[in-house]
Chain A
């Protein structure tokens, strides 16, 4: 078994602030994902990475940067937090070609 650890669990930011969310997995999976979950809008793909140093944009990449410095970790940066923004950011991983996607517990973002 393995686990996906997301930090921090809760993140409160100020409008215009740059905020970084971190994700670590010990499954030894090659592919990692960042999804955004808004109430009533399901899960939307922000970025994914097939291997170390690879980055692919999802449907929601504008306003975000991502970084995959090593196989086990994948970071997401909100480049400029929007006022009153509230969402849960979910990190996930799987091995390319395998079906099951494993999720972390999420980082809950609130912007004041």
Chain B
């Protein structure tokens, strides 16, 4: 059973549009939710994260919206750029172990 689910599997947007990536989780003990960005041939790198005490976290063009009651979160990429084309992983943790990752959303931004 997948503990962290992501949708869609892949997403294509035009430059300047907003890309919306969705994530949901099962375990109510999860309290830290990072999003990792991975380019081909590289390891994932932390993009932005949120803790369960917040409902929104913004960093430049990237914003996480978090709904604890529904166990859902989303990553919004505003003014998408071709350089944002990558795979994005939602993850969750309760600090006890390593992160539990979703299967990823592959984002393609066309100019």
Whether the Cβ atoms of B95 and A45 lie closer than 8 Å is: no
How would residues 25 to 40 of chain B score, 1 for a CB under 8 Å from any chain A CB and 0 otherwise? 0000000101010000
The number of residues on chain B lying at the interface, defined by a beta carbon within 8 Å of a beta carbon of chain A, is 21
Does B70 belong to the interface (CB within 8 Å)?
A: no
- Could you tell me the distance in whole angstroms from the C-beta of B46 to the nearest C-beta in chain A? 5
- Partner of A41 from B41, B44, B100, B103 at Cβ < 8 Å: B103
A residues contacting the other copy or chain, number (CB 8 A): 23
Interface residues of chain A: helix, strand, loop or mixed (majority): strand
Q: Find out whether the CB atom of B98 lies under 8 angstroms from the CB atom of A35.
A: yes
Q: Which residues of B contact A101 (CB under 8 A)?
A: 34, 46, 98-99
Cβ–Cβ < 8 Å partners of A97 in chain B:
95
Report the separation of the CA atoms of residues A43 and B93 in the bound assembly, to the nearest whole angstrom. Answer: 14
Chain B residues close to A by CB (< 8 Å):
32, 34, 36, 41-46, 49, 89, 93, 95, 97-104
A residues with CB within 8 A of B: 4, 33, 35, 40-45, 48, 56, 58, 90, 92, 97, 99-106
